[in-house]
Structure formats: structure tokens, C-alpha cells
Amino acid sequence: MSFLEELNRRRTFGIISHPDAGKTTLTEKLLLFGGAINEAGAVKNNKIKKGATSDFMEIERQRGISVATSVLAFNYKGIKINILDTPGHKDFAEDTFRTLTAVDSVIVVIDVAKGVEEQTEKLIKVCRMRKIPIIVFINKLDREGKDAFDLLDEIEQKLGLKVCPLSFPIGMGYDFKGIYNIWEKKLNLFDGAVKQTISKGIEFNHLENPELDKIIGKKAATELREETELIYEVYPKFNKNDYLNGELQPVFFGSALNNFGVKELLDCFINIAPCPQPKMSDTRLVQATENKLTGFVFKIHANMDPKHRDRLAFIKIVSGIFKRNTNYLHVRLNKKMKFSSPNAFFAEKKEIVDTSFPGDIVGLHDTGNFKIGDTLTEGELLNFKGIPSFSPEYFRYINNADPLKSKQLAKGIDQLMDEGVAQLFLLNLNGRKVIGTVGALQFEVIQYRLEHEYGAKCTYENLNMHKVCWVAPQDPKNEEYATFLRVKQRYLAKDKEGQLVFLADSAFTIQMTQSKYPSVVLHFTSEF
């Protein structure tokens, strides 16, 4: 297959949702279609146990929260699909935001009973800012939920999307009869008794066909006719370009648990979802079709396999072909590196691969060379943009609880920060270490991982801070800047890159500081 054929058959996307909407279940069902996991096991257990496939970490199995973002690849109808799974829990939102820099499109899962939830709103905001194409999957139709039209309204209003239903439910919950697939003009009937079977659609080009009354009953047939008529009147007609430009969002209904509506989603997805897209760097726009390799690290995961203490940097290939045992430039370190065992991910298996193409995710064994955001090229000096750190919202001093293990603690903290689990700040005044996170849960994760992966123990001390602001560097001779540094020295620290930050204890403090020192520019993300 030629380079362009390989590129065009790739679809790299993320599934996002509020926790419990059914992201893991949908991922697993998609993997079933791709033959990447064994259907027999899934049927026997009714559903695959949480943690069996898309979640690697022990801690997650304990908590039942998708903590780590995992990568899964499979082939379906000749298309190579790369799914980047994302943690739904808000405390791991930064991990999800970073993953969104590596996807070309997303599928958002919404629970029909709960509607649009808080976490979905935040994530969709980021997708809209980046104009990422979005498909909506409304899940759990086998349960009672909100009226389909009300839900479509809610999605438009709360998420700011312009929806275009490509399937529509017939009934819901106890009365759920199936789905009319507007995209393929087919009727798919739900058989609650034979869960997990993939129903074959019945062609139904014209819903006026009286056969419909016989199949689903007169009442349901009349309702469906009225509803589809309304859909054609009220919602825009599907247009692939609008979808690809992030201006129109197709909607599907179904039940991931019952494997209903998932195939329709997937069949449409491979047809319309974008292949690998160009990406902006600090010097130019890099096209996926370029022959020379470029790629960037969007995730680092240490100790994925507890049996082998390994650390993997996940690289998204932006252009060119990634080849095993070939020298590439690590731009930040200005260092040539080659990789003898790059990994690709197939469900729960990792495999060494000789070549990877744009859109693919490669896992590189790392001994501490990589940080999130690092770029690999064939020699060109460019850095991909768009993986900034956001200000954490929770802050604590971290102290060593076992003096004999201070080296292990330092190493553990260092590696966890490179993975982007949290951010570390060193106070200018006394060198104390402050950990900042976006959620309180992360402190527990850090403590747990330091102990289980590095044999180190830590304690925390509360620190009442509101946010950190990155201070734009200036000539220290500038009088106002010098005064700011002197007056605020107790609140100044360095982040892991050595950038100066200001720890503010309230929104008011930030406001006051800005008005008192107008020439000192404060930023709310690390990339400015």
C-alpha cells in the first residue's frame, strides 16, 4: 500500500463523556466490531469487566474511574482506527485536554437520562475552540430518558453545537423498539431478549410504506413518520464539509451495552471522519502528506506493566513514516535518537512495529528523555504547539515521609510530573516543593503511585492558593518589574521548566496585582 493510501485509511479519534455515560462500554463494543477483542468472552460476561481492556492502571481497577488515557487500534472494513480513550473524571481533565491535541475527531457519549453533564460541556468547549469534528452518540436508549427532541435542544444550547440527527429512536426504555437510520434509510429493530446480537437493518426508503405499521405497530409508525418529518424540517441536512469544519454535528442514538446503534455509528464514522490532519508548529503548518517524519509526545506513562518497570512516551505521528531503528531528532534536546522497539497498541496487547503512518500512535520506551509536548523530526527545527499547562486549582506542599527514600521520592515526583499527572513548583524563597493539581483526587493518586511504583512515602501540607500565573519575562532592571519581584517574593516560584510563576491566593489578589503592576504580564497557561 502506498504512503497516501496508508494515510487516507487512518482515523484517529477520542471518545469523550462525563463519567458513567458509557464511554468504556462503547469503546469495547467498537473493539468487538474490529475483532480486536474476543466476542465470546463479552457475551458470556454480558459485558467485559471494567479494566480488562482500555484501562491499564491498578489504581483505576480499585476506584473504577478511568484514570489513564489509553490507546487502542483496530481495523474495520479496511480502515485503521486509532481510539484514544480519555479519562472522564474531572480531576484528570488535563490528561483529556492533552489527548485532544492528538485526535483528528471525537465522538461524545451522552446518557439519555442525564443529558448534557458538566464534564461534557468543558470538553466540548475545547473541541469547538479547536474546530475538531464531533459526532454525538446518545446512549442507554434501553432505559427511560429525556425526550429525543428535548435532548437535541439541550445539546444545541448547552454545548453550542448545531446538531443533525442521522438516526432517530423509536420509543425509549421499556418501549424502545429500535432506531430509524436516517443516514442509510434503514430500520433497525431492537430485540431486548437477544442482547449483543447485531440486528440487520431493513431497507426503508420511504417511511410511508404501510409495511412499517405492520412491523412496529400503527402508533409507533405514525409517531416515527411525524418525527422524521420534523427532523427534515427543523434540522439542517447533513453536509460532510460542515461536519469536517466543526460546524455541524451528526447525532446517533443507541445502547452501547446492548450493542445497539453502535454499528450504524461506526459505519458512518469510517465514511465521514477525517483522516490525519495538518498541524501547526512554531514555524509552519505541517501537512500529514509530507514525506519527512514529524510527531509529538502527548502522553507519558510510567510503569504501565507492573511486571516490567517501563516508561512509555506516546507519540502522535503528524507526517511521514516512523521507522524502527532510524535516527530522529529530539528537537528540545537537540539530540539524535533511534528506537529499536516502538510499540503499537492493539486492545490490551502491545506489539513492536517497523513502520507507522500519520495518525498512528507509537509508544517509545523512554529512560527520561521525553516530556509532554516534545517534538521528533528528521532534522528540521520545529516544535508543535498547543499543549500548554493550565493553572492547577489545588495546591499542597509535599514532604518526604521516609528520610531513607529521598532519592526514590525525588525520582518519583520528577517522573510523575513529566507524565503530566500534576505540576511541581519550587518556591523561590526556601526551595520548598509545591504540587499543583486540577483535582483533589490526584494527590491520592500521586501518593499511591509514589509508594507502589517508587517505594517512596510522602505527606502533604495544605496550601491555600487560588491559581498560579506565569509571569512574562522582562528586563529585571525595569523598575516596576523589580518592585513586583521584591514585594511578591514570598509568592514567587519556578515551574518545572524554570519559568517564573506567581502563586495567587485569590482572584482578587490577581486583579490587584495586575492593576498595581500593569507592565508585569500574567498568563494563565504556560504557553504564551
| Chain positions contacting ligand G4P, by CB under 6 A | 17, 19-25, 47, 50, 66, 88, 139-140, 142-143, 255-258
Q: Is the Cβ–Cβ distance between 76 and 271 less than 8 Å?
A: no
At its nearest, how many Å lie between ligand G4P and the CB of residue 377?
Answer: 36
CA distance 233 to 249: 17
At its nearest, how many Å lie between ligand G4P and the CB of residue 165?
Answer: 18
Q: 345 vs 517, which CB is nearer to ligand G4P?
A: 345
Checking 239-245 for CB contacts under 8 A at 24+ apart, the result is 240/272, 242/162, 243/133, 243/135, 243/164, 243/272, 244/133, 244/272, 244/274, 245/131, 245/133
Q: 143 vs 385, which CB is nearer to ligand G4P?
A: 143
Give 241-306 as a DSSP string. Answer: HHHHTTS-EEEEE-BTTTTBSHHHHHHHHHHHS--SPPEEBSS-EEPTT-SS-EEEEEEEEE-SBT
Within 8 A by CB and 6+ apart from 416, the residues are: 302, 422, 446, 449, 450
Gap between the terminal Cα atoms of the chain: 41
Instruction: Please report, to the nearest 10 degrees, the dihedral formed by the alpha carbons of residues 299, 303, 309, 312 taken in order.
Output: -20
At its nearest, how many Å lie between ligand G4P and the CB of residue 48?
Answer: 9
Output the nine-digit C-alpha cell for 118.
458538566
Give 394-434 as a DSSP string. Answer: EEEEEEES-GGGHHHHHHHHHHHHHTTSSEEEEETTT--EE
Residue type for position 373: G
At its nearest, how many Å lie between ligand G4P and the CB of residue 486?
Answer: 49
Checking 479-485 for CB contacts under 8 A at 24+ apart, the result is 480/517, 480/518, 480/519, 480/520, 481/517, 481/519, 481/520, 483/517, 484/513, 484/517, 484/520
Give 302-322 as a DSSP string. Answer: E-SBTTB--EEEEEEEEES-E
At its nearest, how many Å lie between ligand G4P and the CB of residue 258?
Answer: 6
> Among 208, 165, 204, 170, which residue's Cα sits nearest to residue 189?
170
At its nearest, how many Å lie between ligand G4P and the CB of residue 2?
Answer: 37
> Among 409, 517, 406, 420, which residue's Cα sits nearest to residue 471?
517
Q: 93 vs 257, which CB is nearer to ligand G4P?
A: 257
At its nearest, how many Å lie between ligand G4P and the CB of residue 120?
Answer: 10
Q: Is the Cβ–Cβ distance between 143 and 113 less than 8 Å?
A: yes
Handedness of CA 96, 101, 106, 108 (dihedral sign): positive
At its nearest, how many Å lie between ligand G4P and the CB of residue 140?
Answer: 4
- Phi and psi dihedrals of 230, rounded to 5? -60, -40
Output the nine-digit C-alpha cell for 379.
532534522
Q: 65 vs 315, which CB is nearer to ligand G4P?
A: 65
At its nearest, how many Å lie between ligand G4P and the CB of residue 28?
Answer: 8
At its nearest, how many Å lie between ligand G4P and the CB of residue 38?
Answer: 18
Q: 261 vs 420, which CB is nearer to ligand G4P?
A: 261
Q: 188 vs 258, which CB is nearer to ligand G4P?
A: 258
At its nearest, how many Å lie between ligand G4P and the CB of residue 254?
Answer: 7
Q: 122 vs 432, which CB is nearer to ligand G4P?
A: 122
Q: 176 vs 204, which CB is nearer to ligand G4P?
A: 176
At its nearest, how many Å lie between ligand G4P and the CB of residue 248?
Answer: 25
Q: 198 vs 280, which CB is nearer to ligand G4P?
A: 198
Q: 22 vs 34, which CB is nearer to ligand G4P?
A: 22
CA distance 254 to 139: 5
At its nearest, how many Å lie between ligand G4P and the CB of residue 50?
Answer: 5
CA distance 487 to 483: 6
Q: 195 vs 324, which CB is nearer to ligand G4P?
A: 195
Centroid of chain to Cα 305: 21
Centroid of chain to Cα 249: 18
Q: Count other C-beta atoms under 10 Å from residue 232's C-beta.
A: 11
Q: 25 vs 423, which CB is nearer to ligand G4P?
A: 25
Q: Is the Cβ–Cβ distance between 526 and 502 less than 8 Å?
A: no
> Among 144, 164, 166, which residue's Cα sits nearest to residue 156?
164
Strand-strand pairing, 71-76 and 361-365:
unpaired
Q: 25 vs 509, which CB is nearer to ligand G4P?
A: 25
Q: 261 vs 276, which CB is nearer to ligand G4P?
A: 261
At its nearest, how many Å lie between ligand G4P and the CB of residue 139?
Answer: 5
